[in-house]
Each structure stands twice: as structure tokens, then as C-alpha cells.
């Protein structure tokens, strides 16, 4: 006992402010040095923006990257990308440097096979796949991405009635039916983040699980774990990352375990039902397989002989990264579009409402494919908001996978491990690509489409209809990257387009929404946008046409 007391005494004796400060300085220096030593080597001929390259500048880059990355990207774009040249965007706490390629090299970037430039490995590194996704296998072998690529777009029409039901139900539950009282909500935190998880999980796991509060809380907990691990790794030297990662990794494991207690029984039952039906059990003759991710996953794994992916625990694991890929992205997109529309002249919302009501009534008061595909103005208003309110500096991230490195079209040697990306924010505001990019022009992409649709069949035949149709929300190209581009472009974008159009249609038809005097401004931290807090007021209309 005496010995312990004396050891405590020695410890306290050394616990002075000077020593704590000294330890902190050593920690920061070690962090910095180890991160530089283990970082991929960038070609010496490529210019850097920010404070430039070199050890001292590296410290300054990390110090200022939080607040200056947006400006650095813009400077690099104007100085180098416009000349068809590559530049390096310095690292920011939490994320390494990125090689930013000009638009001319985009087709080269997306055409490279995965063993040369890999999306999967870029995501694995950027999201700390060793620790943040319950098990490394989750992102090392992203079978859920394969299942979504193969099934989601193909099954979308059949999913629409469920979505229609879920959107109406969740929006009405949140905003209520009171035609006198206004309800005031923050568009991202109080509205989208409440409704989007339920709608997305209706497609992933079906009802009633998609509305189970405990299940949803664990899904949200998991997505926050991933974000928290990224922030934690920003301040952790690489040599300590295995220790910190394993500790931080307990939280996603916990949320996986908790959510699987609710999802595994549903998956087990589904597997059993499918097997009964396939075995010709007469009781299952009229049984309809629910059209959701669980069925798609099981059916795909059966067809491909992936017995490991037929384990209910595997399927329940896959649902977590899909929630991560969809919830925040869709909520940010939806809340930004709402703010952009409400801060526009009031005739924009009126015109969107006129369109929504017209197509809804023409389709027999339901949101089906026919109605949604004719919401040209809504489609454009969301696409334009993705451009105007871009929420990340760069997209289309790829990691160099060749051990000896590769040569870019500019003749630059890109080392193994380098992350290459495209400058989305700068492309979205480039006046050479967009007329008056500083203006949110809700119908920028629909005017031409509506004009085309009014033409007679003979007149249409004389025009390039395909080109006009390619300005739709789901079409990616080298000047529109919010869903990425190429064969790894987001496979969820078709779902998102339908989901958001339905939600806005339902809102505009059934609720009055007060316009905003001005667009609340977001803040940028490092390479990402943080949505503004805002207050939007909704009130149930007395009648749909009122």
C-alpha cells in the first residue's frame, strides 16, 4: 500500500502544466512526422496549392486546411485545372493529400480498371475500413455494393408503391394534420434526418422494421461511429492508429450487434420462406417475396453460390454500410434543395407545386414511374441544388493500386497509394461550364426539356432528344459529379431521384411552406460542407388545391 502511495506521489509530482504541454507538443510532432513518413510520395513536378510542399509547409497546411481548403481548391482550379494541369490539394486533419486532375483527364480516371485505380480501396482508406465498419471484410469485399448495383435500379418500379406509402406516412406523422398551426423545423436535423432513414430502410429491410425506433437509433449510431472514427484518426499518429482504431471500433461493433438482434430474425424468416417456396411447398405457392434489399441479397448470393453471404449475420452486417452511404447524403441533398427552393422567388415553389399536382392527378393520385418521370421541373430543381449547394470539394476518388505506380495522361508518375480525385466544387461554379453559376436557377435543366416535350413527334425527330434528356438528375458526366461518375457512380441515385421527387411532391401538394427571405449559409470544415441550422415553417393545407 505504502509503495503504491509513493508511486502516486511521484506521478503527481510530474503532472505539471509544463510537462503536459511538452507531452502535447511531442505528440503533435510525432503525429505529424509519422504521418508524413508513411504517406504516399507525390511527384516533385506537380504543383501544390496551400502553403506548398516541404516539412514546415506541411505543418502550416495541416494548421490551415480546416478553414482554407475550399479557397485552395478554387486557386488550384483556376491556376492549373483550367490549363489542363494536375495539382496537389494538401492534407487536412483526417484526410491525406489528393491529386486533383483536370476535367480533360476524367475519362481516363473513370476508365481505368479497378486493379489500377480503385474506388473500393479509396473508400476503404478514407473511411478507415480496418476499424469503422465492424469488421474489415465489410469494405474489403463490399458485396452489398454489388447487390445494389445489380438489383436496385432493376426493381425500382416495383418498390415505388412501398415508397409512396412510406413517404406520405412519415411526412404526415412529422408535420401533422393541423390546418391552423405552423410547425417550425430545421430542414436537415428535424426533417430530413427523421424521414429519410425510415424511407431508406423501407427499401432495405421492409416494414415494420424500417420504423422501429431502436433499430433506427442503432443505424444512426453506426453512421455516427464512422464519422467519429474519421475525426479521431485526424488527431492520431499512424503508429497509434491500431490501438485507437480497435478501441473506437468497439462502438460500430456494438451497434452492429444491437441492430442484428432485430434484423437477423427477419432475415432468417425470409431465407426460410424463400427456401420453402423454391422447394415447391404448396403453402408458399402464392407467397410473394417482399421486394427489398434482404430478398435481393439472398437471391443474388444463392445465384452466385456465395454461401458466406447467405448467413443472416452477413446480410445484417451489409445493411449498416448501406445506411451510411444513403442517410446523410440524401438528407443533405434534400435539405439543401428545400432551402434553395424556398429562398428563390415565390413563383419557383408555385411552379413546382403546379407540376406536382398536375402529374399526381393525371396518374390517378399516386406516385408511379409515369408521374415521377414527368416531374421535369422538380428533377431540375434538385439537380441544380446539387450544383449550386455542392457539399464536398472533390468527388470520384480513386486509389493507385499498382505497386510501381502509374503514369497519368500528363506523363506524371503517381505512386502506389496516391488518392486521385476530381474538383467537384470548382467544376460546379465554373462560368465556362454553367451560365451565371452564382445564381440558383431552379429550372436551368428543365426549360429545354419542357420545350422538347411540347414538340410534335415530327419536330422531335429533327432534334437530338437523347442529348436533351441527358440533363436529368441521375445523369452523371464530367461536369456533374455529385453522384460520382463512371461505372462506380452511385447505384442509389435512381432511388434517390424517386424518393426526393415523391417527398417534395407530397410536401408541396399537402403543405404550405413559408418562403425564406434569404438562403441560410453553410460552413465549410476542411473539404466538407456543414449544413446551416435554419427554421422552415410548414402548415397542412385545408385542401390539396387550396
Q: Report how far apart, in Å, the C-alpha atoms of 59 and of each of 55, 373, 388 are.
A: 7, 51, 32
- Whichever of 232 and 298 has its CB closer to ligand HEM, that residue is 298
Q: Report how far apart, in Å, the C-alpha atoms of 400 and of each of 87, 98, 417, 492 are.
A: 16, 11, 5, 25
Work out whether 484 is an interface residue with ligand HEM (CB under 6 A): yes
User: What is d(CA 181, CA 184) in angstroms, rounded to the nearest whole number?
Assistant: 10
Distance from CA of residue 364 to its chain's centroid?
A: 33
Work out whether 271 is an interface residue with ligand HEM (CB under 6 A): no
**φ, ψ (nearest 5 deg) of residue 225:** -60, -45
Q: Which of 396, 414, 442, 516 binds ligand HEM (CB under 6 A)?
A: 396
Work out whether 490 is an interface residue with ligand HEM (CB under 6 A): yes
Q: What is the nearest approach in angstroms of ligand HEM to the Cβ of residue 524?
A: 17
Distance from CA of residue 386 to its chain's centroid?
A: 12
- Whichever of 200 and 236 has its CB closer to ligand HEM, that residue is 200
Work out whether 127 is an interface residue with ligand HEM (CB under 6 A): no
Q: What is the nearest approach in angstroms of ligand HEM to the Cβ of residue 529?
A: 12
Contact by Cβ (8 Å): 536, 187: yes
* Stretch of 61-69, 214-222, 324-332, 399-407 lying at the interface with ligand HEM (CB under 6 A): 324-332
Work out whether 485 is an interface residue with ligand HEM (CB under 6 A): yes
Q: Would you say the C-alpha torsion 164, 165, 169, 172 has a positive or negative sign?
A: positive
Q: Which of 101, 325, 427, 516 binds ligand HEM (CB under 6 A)?
A: 325
Over the window 194 to 233, marking each residue x when it contacts ligand HEM by CB under 6 A and - when it does not, the resulting string is: ------x---------------------------------
User: What is d(CA 415, CA 99) in angstroms, rounded to the nearest whole number?
Assistant: 11
Contact by Cβ (8 Å): 156, 498: yes
Contact by Cβ (8 Å): 333, 386: yes
Contact by Cβ (8 Å): 121, 262: no
Q: How many CA atoms lie within 13 A of 508 on its CB side?
A: 27
Work out whether 489 is an interface residue with ligand HEM (CB under 6 A): yes
Q: Which of 237, 491, 522, 526 binds ligand HEM (CB under 6 A)?
A: 491
Contact by Cβ (8 Å): 86, 68: no
Work out whether 259 is an interface residue with ligand HEM (CB under 6 A): no
Helix axes 193-205, 493-510, angle to 10 degrees: 130
Q: Which of 198, 353, 383, 488 binds ligand HEM (CB under 6 A)?
A: 488
Touching ligand HEM, residues 141-170 (CB under 6 A): 145, 148
- Whichever of 252 and 492 has its CB closer to ligand HEM, that residue is 492
User: What is d(CA 494, CA 103) in angstroms, rounded to the nearest whole number?
Assistant: 25
Name 458's Cβ contacts closer than 8 Å, sequence gap at least 6.
none
- Whichever of 122 and 534 has its CB closer to ligand HEM, that residue is 122
- Whichever of 61 and 418 has its CB closer to ligand HEM, that residue is 418
* Stretch of 179-187, 371-379, 401-409, 480-488 lying at the interface with ligand HEM (CB under 6 A): 480-488
How many residues bind ligand HEM (CB under 6 A)? The answer is: 25
* Stretch of 279-287, 400-408, 486-494, 515-523 lying at the interface with ligand HEM (CB under 6 A): 486-494
**φ, ψ (nearest 5 deg) of residue 47:** -70, 150
- Whichever of 69 and 326 has its CB closer to ligand HEM, that residue is 326
Work out whether 330 is an interface residue with ligand HEM (CB under 6 A): yes
User: Binding site annotation covers 490?
Assistant: yes
Over the window 429 to 468, marking each residue x when it contacts ligand HEM by CB under 6 A and - when it does not, the resulting string is: ----------------------------------------
Q: What is the nearest approach in angstroms of ligand HEM to the Cβ of residue 391?
A: 8
- Whichever of 443 and 495 has its CB closer to ligand HEM, that residue is 495
Nearest residue to 482 (alpha-carbon basis) of 361, 377, 395, 380: 395
CA-atom Rg of the chain in angstroms: 25
Q: What is the nearest approach in angstroms of ligand HEM to the Cβ of residue 337?
A: 10
Tally of residues, the chain: 546
Work out whether 106 is an interface residue with ligand HEM (CB under 6 A): no
Work out whether 504 is an interface residue with ligand HEM (CB under 6 A): no
Distance from CA of residue 323 to its chain's centroid?
A: 10
- Which grid coordinates belong to 371? 408521374
User: What is d(CA 27, CA 21) in angstroms, rounded to the nearest whole number?
Assistant: 10
Work out whether 333 is an interface residue with ligand HEM (CB under 6 A): yes
Collapsing DSSP to helix, strand or coil, 517 comes out as coil
Q: Which of 81, 98, 119, 259 binds ligand HEM (CB under 6 A)?
A: 119
Contact by Cβ (8 Å): 237, 31: yes
Touching ligand HEM, residues 407-436 (CB under 6 A): none
User: What is d(CA 225, CA 229) in angstroms, rounded to the nearest whole number?
Assistant: 6
Query: Residues interacting with ligand HEM, by CB under 6 A?
Result: 119, 145, 148, 200, 322, 325-326, 329-330, 333, 395-397, 482-486, 488-492, 495-496
Binding-site residues from annotation for heme? 490
Binding-site residues from annotation? 490
Amino acid at each position: 500500500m505504502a509503495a503504491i502511495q509513493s508511486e502516486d506521489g511521484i506521478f503527481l509530482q510530474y503532472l505539471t502544466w509544463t510537462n503536459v504541454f511538452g507531452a502535447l507538443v511531442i505528440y503533435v510532432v510525432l503525429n505529424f512526422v509519422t504521418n508524413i513518413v508513411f504517406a504516399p510520395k507525390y511527384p516533385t513536378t506537380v504543383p501544390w496549392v496551400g502553403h506548398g510542399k516541404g516539412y514546415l509547409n506541411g505543418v502550416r497546411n495541416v494548421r490551415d486546411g480546416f478553414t482554407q481548403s475550399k479557397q485552395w481548391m478554387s486557386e488550384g482550379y483556376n491556376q492549373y485545372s483550367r490549363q489542363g494541369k494536375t495539382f496537389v490539394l494538401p492534407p487536412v486533419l483526417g484526410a491525406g493529400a489528393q491529386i486533383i486532375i483536370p476535367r480533360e483527364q476524367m475519362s481516363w480516371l473513370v476508365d481505368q480498371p479497378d486493379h489500377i485505380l480503385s474506388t473500393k480501396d479509396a473508400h476503404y482508406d478514407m473511411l478507415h475500413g480496418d476499424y469503422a465498419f465492424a469488421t474489415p471484410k465489410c469494405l474489403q469485399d463490399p458485396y452489398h455494393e454489388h447487390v445494389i448495383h445489380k438489383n436496385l435500379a432493376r426493381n425500382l418500379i416495383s418498390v415505388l408503391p412501398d415508397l409512396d406509402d412510406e413517404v406520405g406516412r412519415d411526412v404526415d406523422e412529422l408535420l401533422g394534420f393541423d390546418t391552423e398551426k405552423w410547425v417550425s423545423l430545421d430542414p436537415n436535423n428535424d426533417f430530413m434526418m427523421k424521414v429519410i432513414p425510415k424511407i431508406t430502410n423501407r427499401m432495405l429491410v421492409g416494414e415494420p422494421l424500417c420504423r422501429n425506433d431502436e433499430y433506427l437509433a442503432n443505424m444512426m449510431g453506426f453512421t455516427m461511429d464512422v464519422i467519429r472514427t474519421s475525426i479521431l484518426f485526424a488527431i492520431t499518429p499512424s503508429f497509434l492508429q491500431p490501438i485507437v482504431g480497435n478501441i473506437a471500433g468497439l462502438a460500430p461493433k456494438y451497434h452492429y450487434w444491437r441492430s442484428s438482434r432485430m434484423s437477423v430474425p427477419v432475415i432468417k424468416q425470409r431465407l426460410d420462406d424463400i427456401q420453402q417456396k423454391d422447394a415447391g411447398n404448396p403453402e408458399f405457392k402464392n407467397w410473394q417475396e417482399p421486394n427489398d434489399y434482404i430478398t435481393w441479397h439472398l437471391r443474388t448470393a444463392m445465384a452466385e453460390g456465395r454461401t458466406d453471404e447467405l448467413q443472416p449475420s452477413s446480410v445484417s452486417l451489409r445493411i449498416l454500410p448501406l445506411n451510411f452511404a444513403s442517410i446523410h447524403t440524401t438528407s443533405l441533398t434534400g435539405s439543401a434543395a428545400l432551402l434553395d427552393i424556398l429562398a428563390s422567388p415565390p413563383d419557383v415553389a408555385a411552379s413546382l407545386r403546379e407540376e406536382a399536382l398536375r402529374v399526381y392527378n393525371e396518374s390517378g393520385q399516386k406516385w408511379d414511374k409515369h408521374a415521377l418521370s414527368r416531374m421535369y421541373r422538380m428533377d431540375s430543381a434538385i439537380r441544380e441544388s446539387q450544383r449550386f449547394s455542392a457539399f464536398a470539394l472533390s468527388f470520384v476518388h480513386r486509389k493507385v493500386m499498382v505497386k510501381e505506380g502509374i503514369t497519368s495522361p500528363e506523363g506524371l508518375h503517381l505512386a502506389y497509394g496516391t488518392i486521385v480525385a476530381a474538383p467537384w466544387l470548382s467544376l460546379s461554379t465554373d462560368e465556362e461550364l454553367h451560365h451565371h453559376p452564382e445564381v440558383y436557377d431552379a429550372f436551368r435543366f428543365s426549360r429545354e426539356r419542357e420545350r422538347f416535350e411540347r414538340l410534335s413527334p415530327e419536330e422531335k425527330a429533327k432534334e437530338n432528344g437523347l442529348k436533351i434528356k441527358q440533363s436529368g438528375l441521375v445523369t452523371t458526366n464530367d461536369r456533374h459529379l455529385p453522384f460520382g461518375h463512371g461505372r462506380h457512380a452511385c447505384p442509389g441515385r435512381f432511388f434517390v431521384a424517386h424518393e426526393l421527387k415523391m417527398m417534395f411532391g407530397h410536401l408541396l401538394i399537402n403543405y404550405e411552406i413559408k418562403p425564406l427571405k434569404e438562403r441560410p449559409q453553410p460552413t465549410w470544415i476542411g473539404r466538407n460542407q456543414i449544413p446551416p441550422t435554419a427554421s422552415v415553417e410548414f402548415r397542412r393545407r385545408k385542401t390539396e388545391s387550396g
